[in-house]
Amino acid sequence: MSGAEPEARVQDFLLRHGLMRPSETAILTPLTGGVSSDLWQVDLPGRTLCVKGALAQLKVAQEWLAPTSRNRVEYEWLLFAGTVAPTQVPQVFAYDEQAGLFAMQFLPPKDYPVWKAQLLGGHVDPAVAHAVGDLVGRLHAASAKNPSAQGTFATDDNFYALRIEPYFRVTARANPDLADRIEGLAAVTAGTHLAVVHGDVSPKNILLGPHGPVLLDAECGWFGDPAFDLAFCLNHLLLKAIILPDHTERLYRSARLLLDSYARHIDWELPADLMGRVAALVPLLALARVDGASPVEYLSPPQRDQVRALARDLMSRPTGTIEAIVDGWMLTVSAATAGTTQINTAQIKEQTP
């Protein structure tokens, strides 16, 4: 959507829900960064908020269609998460199903930098990963005990369109020799229903606020496999090691702290079962970020080849523990990069609580 039509629609939404008065003028500024929604900063006299609307066709090179009902899913997820970690998700103000819009708190970039930008700028703080693992673990544990969560987030079709098809099935078509393995992982993931999954726990969707990390963009919200969230975030730390070889050691420590802080909250199933699914998913998700429908933008062609080789190798042999996968990935990246300090995994493990 562009031009006057969406702007008029947003202003009508704000008026109908009492978020602006008829005598006021709203200044709408489109915000960039996402591929799946339109997002506006709305400046009103003495206050600022955000309005978000889902797109039917995502802004990626391949055709990627998804139900716009995910706008309601995200609104419901923010309401739920706000009961668990009220300072670590934006506050929501109103939702309009007919307009396909919801309004939420505006978080100023100067006070809430994006974790992805921090990482790409070389600011790798393992304490942030520890806090992210703790937040995601708390959310999963709370949802697993919530009797209404399964009904509210029975969004299998939405998750299929946003994650199973573009990440699993598109990647399988690009790697036909691994298709059976990938289809098996898709079946396990789609068939596991244990907790409310965010579905996009990526550094681009995590702000570093004064009260800890703030989690955004829960359009994929789904009562499903919590292993997906942990694997999705962990995969991004492994990918960053490819482009930040001088920070491999801190990224390794970040990955281990993410796993450890999350694991402390697992009480809905055996931790070994969940971590086994994480270990199976991480190589696939790495491969999906070069061969799936939404490849990461920051890898050069040789780096894409490196990720592809590492991920395919891990997928073509029996899956080890997630700790072994992280160790092997980081050691391989470190050894392949001339002029960088070799990481000492044994020493780092001793420092990891």
Q: What is the pLDDT of residues 44-103, one digit of tens each?
A: 999 999 999 876 544 444 544 445 567 889 999 999 999 999 999 999 999 998 888 899
- 264: burial class by Cβ within 10 Å (0-12, 13-18, 19+)? middle
The answer to whether residues 196 and 276 belong to one domain is: yes
Does residue 206 lie within any of the structural domains? yes
Choose among 228, 216, 236, 222: nearest CA to 262.
228
Does residue 110 lie within any of the structural domains? no
Q: What is the pLDDT of residues 140-175, one digit of tens each?
A: 999 999 999 999 999 999 999 999 999 999 999 999
- Where residue 349 falls among pLDDT bands split at 50, 70, 90? low
The answer to whether residues 314 and 245 belong to one domain is: yes
Q: Which CATH number do you get for residue 25?
A: 3.30.200.20
Burial 109-139 (b: 16+ CB within 10 A, else e): eeebebbbebbbeeebebebbbbbbbbbbbb
Q: What is the pLDDT of residues 202-221, one digit of tens each?
A: 999 999 999 999 999 999 99
Structural contact between residues 224 and 150, judged by C-beta atoms closer than 8 angstroms: no
Is the model more confident about 31 or about 78?
A: 78
Give the CA angle between residues 177, 337, 308 to the nearest 5°.
Answer: 15
Nearest-angstrom CA–CA distance, 190 and 176:
20
Nearest-angstrom CA–CA distance, 224 and 212:
26
For tokens 């390794």, what's the residue? Answer: 252
Does residue 71 lie within any of the structural domains? yes
Q: Which among 77, 105, 133 is the end of a domain?
A: 105
User: How many domains, in total, are found in the chain?
Assistant: 2
The answer to whether residues 284 and 184 belong to one domain is: yes
Q: Which CATH number do you get for residue 195?
A: 3.90.1200.10
Range of the domain at 85: 4-105
The answer to whether residues 229 and 269 belong to one domain is: yes
The answer to whether residues 90 and 182 belong to one domain is: no
Q: Which among 67, 83, 105 is the end of a domain?
A: 105
The answer to whether residues 176 and 237 belong to one domain is: yes
The answer to whether residues 94 and 165 belong to one domain is: no
Alpha-carbon dihedral angle through residues 149, 168, 199, 34, given to the nearest 10 degrees: -140
The answer to whether residues 181 and 83 belong to one domain is: no
Locate 249 and state its tokens. 């050691």
Answer yes or no: is pLDDT of 348 > 70.
no
The answer to whether residues 219 and 333 belong to one domain is: yes
The answer to whether residues 32 and 177 belong to one domain is: no
The answer to whether residues 13 and 89 belong to one domain is: yes
**Neighbouring residues of 320: CB distance < 8 A, sequence distance ≥ 6:** 279, 328
The answer to whether residues 160 and 288 belong to one domain is: yes
Nearest-angstrom CA–CA distance, 277 and 322:
9
